[in-house]
Amino acid sequence: MKTVEELLQLAIEEIENVHADEIFLVRDLFKGYEWNRLDRRSRLLLGILFLHWVNNSGEDKIIPIEKTSSGQQRYRKGC
């Protein structure tokens, strides 16, 4: 099983496949079965680390927007 840091790196790399102005969740950056195999703790930590990366990386193309009703952070990829 991959570490949360390795999963974060995979998520960051997968951003290239997201279209401009597309809204996504961190889980959308993974195949369904990969996301489902992660335990709840790892998913929560991955979400926190991804938001931290977006806010502190200088990456201005990814914009955090509102959270879903289930508390998941939504993002939009800029141009």
The residue among 62, 58, 51 whose CA lies nearest residue 15 is 62
Q: Which pLDDT does position 2 carry in this prediction?
A: 86
Specify the pLDDT at position 60: 76
Q: What is the mean pLDDT of residues 7-25?
A: 95
Q: Record the pTM.
A: 0.91
* Of 7, 45, 48, the residue nearest 29 (C-alpha): 7
Residues 6 or more apart in contact with residue 46 via CB below 8 angstroms: 4, 7, 8, 11, 26, 38
Residues 17-57: tens digit of each pLDDT: 999 999 999 999 999 899 999 999 999 999 999 999 999 98
The residue extents of the domains of the chain are: 4-77
